Amino acid sequence: SQTILRVEGLSKVFPVSYSVVERVQGRPRRAVRALTEVNLEVRRGETLGIVGESGCGKSTLARCLVRLYDVDSGRIVYDGLEVSGLRGAALRQYNRRVQMVFQDPFSSLNPRMTVGQTLREAILVHRLRKPEQVPGRIRELLELVGLPADAENRLPHEFSGGQRQRIGIARALSVEPETLIADELVSALDVSVQAQVVNLLLKLQEQLHLTVLFVAHDLRLVRHLSHRVAVMYLGRIVELAETERLFTAPAHPYTQALLRAAPELDPSRKSVVEAVKGELPSPLNPPTGCPFHPRCPQAFERCSKEVPALLPRGPEGRWVACHLLEATP
């Protein structure tokens, strides 16, 4: 199917603040390499899950995609548009087409505006309806996300966490986006509520033909929702595959460890730290060669010297960055 979003060689570095001691000692400035040479293609109408331990760069990637962060190098191309070059009206239009929904919608909803006012404002800013059509559109949006009609006249604090997440989704949908980027959308919710919100997202994705990037650390939810899954480790994508193939036959040693560590997939699980030896290395000082080599049970000499490229492996559209698999046709 057709590619709607293409990321090429995307890198993002955050400078670390410099302490007085470091300055006096004349130490070089340090930086966190949040993303390194990320390549990714997202297909129109698919849900792509993005998983990895916290600190792996998945939120940074999401934020770069909606221009909350500028990128240092590389390209983001959305439906033929070079995203980093967009300014003014063209950027606003892009941000309408590609909407982000956050873990805590409370922080992004104005506490003094009723749900109806919030939705009305979003609809009118983008001139998506005539003023007299707005009340009908608001009712439609509330119904779409499963909120009662009287939600319109209430303030955000009057709702539960799950309902607030529905309000955040309604607001995102009010501007008629093509793509939704959800960063840990349900992580703060109770498990039973998580399932409801995720099922809502599944329904909306099918009904509205949305493209969805679902950034999460919960592998069970990602498996339920995603057509394909990208696995990130220390700012790089290490494996990308169709969801069931990834979960039933993970190819990259890190994906294998991540799945072994997932409580919902294996009740006799180990933590990620136990499943793979050692802690996640600091992105301040990433390992040379394969970023996973200090923890990889299968590492060999070449792994500490050479970064494995993300390459297609096998006939079914899987991509893996690992020297072990290079011989595989």
Q: Which residues contact ligand SF4 (rule: CB under 6 A)?
A: 252-253, 290, 292-293, 296, 298-299, 303, 308, 322-324
Per partner kind, with CB cut-offs from 5 to 8 A, the member of ligand SF4, Mg ion, none near residue 299 is: ligand SF4
Nearer to ligand SF4, 134 or 303 (CB): 303
Q: Does 36 bind Mg ion (CB under 5 A)?
A: no
Q: What is the side-by-side order of every strand in the sheet holding 98-101?
A: 98-101, 179-183, 211-215, 47-51, 228-233, 236-242, 318-320, 311-313
As measured in angstroms, the least distance from the Cβ of 151 to Mg ion is 29
Q: Among ligand SF4, Mg ion, none, what does residue 122 contact (CB within 5–8 Å per kind)?
A: none
| 60 in contact with Mg ion (CB under 5 A) | no
Nearer to ligand SF4, 146 or 281 (CB): 281
Give min distance, CB of 109 to Mg ion, in A: 20
What CA–CA distance (Å, rounded) separates 289 from 304?
Answer: 4
245 — phi, psi (to 5°)?
A: -65, -40
- Residue placing its CB nearer to Mg ion in the complex, 50 or 144: 50
Site string for Mg ion, 296-315 (x = CB under 5 A): --------------------
Tell me how far, at minimum, the Cβ of 175 lies from ligand SF4, in Å.
41
Q: Is 194 in the site for Mg ion (CB under 5 A)?
A: no
Q: Is 59 in the site for Mg ion (CB under 5 A)?
A: yes
Which of Mg ion, ligand SF4, none does residue 59 bind (CB under 5 to 8 Å by kind)? Mg ion
> 64 or 303, CB closer to ligand SF4?
303
| Least distance between ligand SF4 and beta carbon 324 (Å) | 4
Q: What is the dihedral of CA 150, 152, 158, 162, to 10 degrees?
A: 90
Q: How far is the CB of 33 from Mg ion (least distance, A)?
A: 16
Question: Mapped to the 3 state alphabet, what secondary structure does the chain carry?
Answer: CCEEEEEEEEEEEEECCCCHHHHHCCCCCCEEEEEEEEEEEEECCCEEEEECCCCCCHHHHHHHHCCCCCCCEEEEEECCEEHHHCCHHHHHHHHHHEEEECCCHHHCCCCCCCHHHHHHHHHHHCCCCCHHHHHHHHHHHHHHCCCCHHHHHCCHHHCCHHHHHHHHHHHHHHCCCCEEEEECCCCCCCHHHHHHHHHHHHHHHHHHCCEEEEECCCHHHHHHHCCEEEEEECCEEEEEEEHHHHHHCCCCHHHHHHHHCCCCCCCCCCCHHHHCCCCCCCCCCCCCCCCCCCCCCCCCHHHHCCCCCCEEECCCCEEECCHHHCCCC
The tokens describing 143, both together, are: 């119904």
Least Cβ distance, residue 287 to ligand SF4 (angstroms): 9
CB nearer to Mg ion: pick between 60 and 174: 60
- Using CB distances below 5 to 8 A depending on partner kind, what does residue 78 bind out of ligand SF4, Mg ion, none? none
290 binds, among Mg ion, ligand SF4, none (CB under 5 to 8 A by kind): ligand SF4
Q: Which is nearer to ligand SF4, 85 or 297 (CB)?
A: 297
- Min dist CB 295 to ligand SF4, Å, is 8
Q: How far is the CB of 257 from Mg ion (least distance, A)?
A: 19
Minimum CB distance to ligand SF4 smaller for 164 or for 318:
318
Q: Is 86 or 299 the residue whose CB approaches ligand SF4 more closely? A: 299
Chain residues in the site for Mg ion (CB under 5 A):
59
